[in-house]
């Protein structure tokens, strides 16, 4: 059963300005942040006096938020809020300092082998297997299914804390709500008056899981990645006068490095990332469920995002959205706060020592609607709607309640409160100094009317619960709330541009789409465009995952994030050429070029500078080309365009956005959703599967020998070293090289091994070779040879024989080289539309296989207006690279502002 992604709707945004009064009546104050108007306000965001803030709070809802923060500030394992029984608390404070002796208990070893093998099946598989073994070997003592689950929990120390919740999902009876008998939102009783039962939700405390991950030497050594990487970065900064040449991880960000320098982060600490999202268990009935996870950033990126190492933290059942998310997050954050205050005792099995660790919460991530619940800001339709809380004010239409970040002032625009002058798209920094003065101003609201005004003026709904965590154990508020490259680059931008290009965007009566020069994807043009997208499928390698479907047919039936990614930044620059007119085509290609850079795991500082220039130029030109300073088009200027202005600076602050994106959260939702086996009670089943997921992954980290043995090199493969492996099929007998291949081989020998030519006489030429079908690259992609791939029809394969090459020649492969890309297209598209010709055997060379860096797609296509001046039958092909891999640079840099 797949979980459906929750749509990004304004209705799910708790901070939307939806007051019935006209916006200009509410907005009676200047649009700048309110720091200058506050009496006795602090001038910076360092160590705010939260008790002072709490003392001036008047409104009941705000006081309740303050109470959750107060409880976190005084977090202690001796409090009733900890939720841990005495046994669990004793293990947390006094962890085991020896490995569990599994080798001395063969019956238990056998039981776990059966249990792990039957995880994806029903309990009957375990029980039937156990009974069969017991009949044959009655002397064996194999635990029952329930017994083995209990033993699993005891060995790992991983369990869940269960709390009651409102049956309508309004609140959880935790923190300040713990003693209530009825829900303060809907007045439903905590316990059913008939059965005495209550609805429950599960939280998995993070402390025991981290302790268990250190109890095997191999698992403990995974934590060394951060320490090693941090020292490498510091050495690089010393060598390069404080400059970072390549950004590869969160640890390259200045916020992390500043906390290392100040001593807030030490070698003993563990760095966490928190991520949350909502999903629907069923498509056609209310079944909202919220899930949050922990990601251990100390692990290397190749491991930390995998299913085996992502840690479910809590499940918030439906059937409706929570009305007070803080009450559901409270148990997990309370446990974290107690660990940060008292320290987590860890036994390191790798060097047999015990130490204290203060967990550091590095980042909190979510999509747009969920982030508004975490950071407690107004959301994307507020006057200050930037999720990073930059001080850029929005503008609204007459009597409108939604604000839009139009930086250029509309012509003839005299709207009180938001008719400020033009703002620059090219400013270079963001300050958050205004957050705490604005929060103080909001909390001092004397009544609801003033609260609504101040909420609008500050962009803050309430204090975030994360203020309760120790300030030295997390990035500062609101800097700990990052961007979301996944939803921004896919759903958000596609939801802007496709309706514009199709003429379906909301518009005023006097601005008909028939007069929009960019609205070209309509009628038969739109249908043909969809067919061209689907036709590219056979030419996209299998390593590109799911290819985009016919967008003209599937856009309204769940086009996926990965499909949008491949379409917008892979296929669209080629398929829109000659259809989307200038200057709109060139403008779009700026976005593509910049987004290809920003989605990489490795971003050089020079590339980052280029991406920043392109993003800012794109955002400025968007307002010039589409919005055109028209009052009736203010709604064109969405936060998705404004967010591009911050992407590059966020890289320097917290590392490449792909390292903190929602891809991990989305995959976790999908993985857990597939494990639901009880449709009658899906929420409880999901919680139990999540707990079992935590326990099993922890167990496998403690006992790596239980992991299924997987040979890294398949049978019959040939390891070439450096991560390159030849994979079968393979010729059974040697064969003569073709004439064109032999010519290329001779050329190679003449240039690189002149002394070897003498051994080849006319009788030995052309030489005999044995062909291999596939080559596995260090990045995991599989490059295939034309020998086997050409045996199948093109509609039955995913072509994987086009490769990107560079490096020094050594070991050999025969390849056919495409022509140089058409320079005028490369220039016009800012390097995003690479159109080449393929000559087959007419342009062969011999290279070393270690020159092959990635598998790419070369898709046949002849765009409108391109005439074959040579008159041959050679076809044109355009290049598509897998998103996230390092991008290729061809020819000169044609990007301009």
Summarised one tens digit per residue, pLDDT across range 374-431 is 999 999 999 999 999 999 999 999 888 899 999 999 999 999 889 899 999 998 667 8
pLDDT of residue 39: 32
> What's the average model confidence in pLDDT over 67-86?
93
Residue 319: asked if its preceding bond is cis (omega within 30°), the reply is yes
> What's the average model confidence in pLDDT over 14-19?
36
Going through 305-456 in order, the beta strands assigned E by DSSP cover: 311-316, 344-348, 353-357, 360-365
Identify the residue with better confidence: 171 or 727: 171
Can you tell me the distance from the alpha carbon of 622 to that of 641, in angstroms, rounded to the nearest whole number? 8
Q: Terminal CA-to-CA distance of the chain, rounded, Å?
A: 48
> What's the average model confidence in pLDDT over 122-138?
91
pLDDT above 70 (res 892): no
Stretch (H or E) spanning 471: none
Q: Are 114 and 102 in contact (CB under 8 A)?
A: no
pLDDT above 70 (res 809): no
pLDDT of residue 319: 78
pLDDT above 90 (res 73): yes
Residue 607: asked if its preceding bond is cis (omega within 30°), the reply is no
> What's the average model confidence in pLDDT over 566-580?
95
Q: Domain map of the chain by residue range?
A: 718-880
pLDDT of residue 869: 47
pLDDT of residue 679: 61
pLDDT of residue 101: 87
pLDDT above 90 (res 591): yes
* Mean residue pLDDT across the chain: 86
What is the value of pTM for the model shown?
0.88
pLDDT of residue 754: 56
- Write the burial class of residue 869 (CB in 10 Å: 0-12 exposed, 13-18 middle, 19+ buried): exposed
Q: Are 189 and 181 in contact (CB under 8 A)?
A: yes
Confidence of residue 886 (pLDDT cuts 50, 70, 90): low
On the CB side of 192, CA atoms within 13 Å amount to 9
Residues above pLDDT 70, as percent of the chain: 87
> What's the average model confidence in pLDDT over 875-889?
79
pLDDT above 50 (res 1): no
pLDDT of residue 325: 95
Identify the residue with better confidence: 317 or 675: 317
Bridge partners of residue 289, in order along the sequence: 279
pLDDT of residue 584: 98
pLDDT above 50 (res 14): no
β pairing state of 353-357 and 344-348? antiparallel
pLDDT of residue 676: 67
Name the residue among 255, 474, 454, 249 with its Cα closest to residue 374. 474
Q: Is 812 helix (H, G, I), strand (E, B) or coil?
A: coil
Tell me the two tokens of residue 177.
Answer: 């709500």
pLDDT above 50 (res 2): no
Confidence of residue 119 (pLDDT cuts 50, 70, 90): confident
Identify the residue with better confidence: 330 or 539: 330
Can you tell me the distance from the alpha carbon of 804 to that of 851, in angstroms, rounded to the nearest whole number? 8
Confidence of residue 731 (pLDDT cuts 50, 70, 90): confident
- Pick the range with the lowest mean pLDDT from 235-239, 314-318, 641-645: 314-318
> What's the average model confidence in pLDDT over 836-865?
84
pLDDT of residue 33: 36
> What's the average model confidence in pLDDT over 300-324?
90
Can you tell me the distance from the alpha carbon of 444 to that of 56, in angstroms, rounded to the nearest whole number? 5
Tell me the two tokens of residue 94.
Answer: 């006094």
pLDDT above 50 (res 807): no
């Amino acid at each position: 059963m797949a979980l459906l992604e929750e749509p990004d709707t304004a209705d799910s945004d708790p901070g939307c300005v939806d007051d019935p009064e006209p916006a200009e009546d509410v907005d009676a104050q200047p649009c700048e942040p309110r720091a200058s108007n506050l009496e006795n306000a602090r001038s910076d965001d360092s160590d705010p006096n939260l008790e002072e803030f709490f003392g001036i709070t008047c409104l009941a809802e705000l006081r309740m938020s303050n109470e959750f923060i107060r409880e976190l500030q005084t977090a202690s394992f001796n409090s009733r809020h900890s939720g841990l029984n005495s046994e669990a608390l004793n293990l947390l404070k006094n962890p085991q300092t020896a490995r569990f002796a599994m080798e001395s208990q063969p019956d238990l070893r056998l039981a776990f082998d059966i249990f792990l093998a039957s995880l994806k099946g029903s309990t009957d598989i375990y029980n039937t297997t156990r009974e069969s073994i017991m009949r044959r070997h009655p002397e064996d003592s194999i635990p029952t299914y329930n017994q083995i689950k209990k033993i699993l929990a005891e060995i790992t120390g991983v369990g869940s804390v269960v709390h009651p919740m409102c049956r309508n999902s309004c609140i959880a009876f935790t923190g300040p709500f713990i003693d209530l008998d009825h829900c303060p939102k809907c007045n439903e009783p905590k316990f059913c008056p008939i059965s005495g039962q209550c609805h429950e939700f599960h939280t998995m405390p993070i402390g025991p899981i981290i302790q268990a991950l250190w109890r095997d030497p191999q698992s403990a050594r995974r934590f060394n990645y951060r320490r090693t990487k941090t020292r490498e970065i510091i050495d690089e900064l010393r060598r390069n006068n404080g400059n970072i040449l390549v950004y590869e991880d969160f640890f390259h960000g200045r916020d992390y490095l500043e906390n290392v320098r100040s001593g807030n982060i030490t070698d003993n600490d563990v760095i966490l990332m928190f991520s949350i999202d909502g999903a629907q268990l069923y498509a056609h009935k209310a079944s909202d469920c919220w899930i949050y996870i922990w990601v251990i950033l100390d692990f290397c990126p190749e491991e930390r995002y995998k299913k085996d190492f992502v840690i479910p933290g809590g499940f918030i059942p439906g059937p409706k959205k929570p009305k007070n998310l803080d009450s559901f997050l409270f148990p997990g954050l309370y446990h974290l706060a107690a660990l940060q205050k008292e320290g987590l005792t860890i036994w390191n099995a790798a060097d047999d020592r015990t130490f204290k660790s203060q967990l550091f919460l590095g980042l909190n991530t979510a999509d747009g609607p969920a982030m508004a619940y975490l950071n407690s800001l107004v959301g994307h339709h507020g006057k200050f709607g930037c999720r990073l809380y930059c001080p850029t004010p929005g503008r609204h239409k007459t009597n409108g309640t939604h604000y839009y970040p139009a930086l250029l002032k509309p012509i003839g625009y005299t709207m009180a409160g938001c008719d400020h002058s033009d703002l620059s798209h090219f400013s270079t920094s963001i300050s958050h100094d205004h957050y705490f003065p604005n929060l103080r101003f909001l909390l001092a609201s004397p009544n609801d009317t003033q609260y609504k005004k101040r909420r609008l003026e500050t962009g803050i709904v309430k204090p975030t619960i994360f203020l309760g965590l120790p300030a030295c154990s997390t990035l500062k508020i609101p800097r700990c709330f990052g961007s979301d490259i996944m939803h921004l680059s896919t759903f958000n931008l596609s939801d802007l541009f496709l309706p514009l290009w199709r003429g379906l965007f909301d518009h005023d009566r006097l601005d008909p789409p028939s007069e929009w020069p960019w609205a070209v994807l309509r009628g038969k043009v739109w249908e043909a465009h969809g067919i061209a997208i689907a036709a590219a499928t056979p030419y996209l390698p299998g390593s590109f995952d799911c290819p985009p479907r016919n967008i003209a047919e599937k856009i309204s039936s769940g086009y996926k994030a990965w499909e949008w990614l491949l379409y917008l930044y892979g296929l669209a620059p080629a398929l829109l050429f000659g259809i989307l007119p200038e200057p709109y085509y060139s403008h779009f290609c700026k976005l593509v070029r910049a987004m290809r850079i920003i989605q990489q795991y490795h971003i050089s500082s020079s590339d980052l500078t280029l991406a920043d220039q392109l993003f800012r130029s794109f955002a400025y030109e968007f307002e010039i080309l589409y919005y055109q300073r028209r009052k009736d088009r203010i709604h064109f200027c969405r936060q998705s365009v404004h967010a591009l202005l911050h992407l590059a600076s966020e890289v320097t602050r917290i590392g490449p956005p792909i390292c903190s994106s929602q891809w991990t959260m989305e995959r976790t939702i999908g993985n857990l959703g597939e494990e639901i086996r009880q449709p009658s009670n899906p929420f409880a089943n999901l919680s139990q599967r999540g707990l079992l997921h935590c326990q099993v992954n922890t167990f496998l980290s403690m006992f790596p020998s239980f992991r299924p043995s997987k040979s890294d090199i398949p049978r019959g493969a040939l390891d070439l070293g450096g991560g390159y492996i030849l994979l079968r099929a393979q010729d059974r007998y040697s064969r003569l090289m073709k004439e064109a291949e032999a010519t290329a081989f001779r050329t190679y020998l003449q240039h690189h091994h002149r002394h070897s030519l003498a051994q080849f006489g006319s009788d030995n030429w052309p030489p005999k070779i044995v062909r291999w079908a596939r080559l596995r690259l260090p990045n995991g992609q599989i490059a295939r040879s034309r020998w086997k791939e050409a045996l199948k029809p093109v509609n039955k394969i995913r072509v994987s024989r086009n490769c990107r090459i560079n490096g020094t020649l050594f070991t050999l492969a025969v390849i056919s080289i495409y022509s140089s890309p058409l320079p005028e297209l490369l220039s016009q598209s800012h390097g995003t539309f690479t159109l080449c010709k393929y000559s087959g055997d007419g342009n062969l060379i011999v290279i070393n296989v270690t020159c092959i860096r990635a598998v790419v797609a070369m898709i046949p296509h002849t765009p409108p207006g391109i005439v074959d001046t040579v008159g041959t039958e050679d076809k044109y092909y355009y290049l598509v690279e897998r998103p996230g891999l390092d991008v290729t640079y061809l020819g000169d840099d044609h990007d301009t502002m």
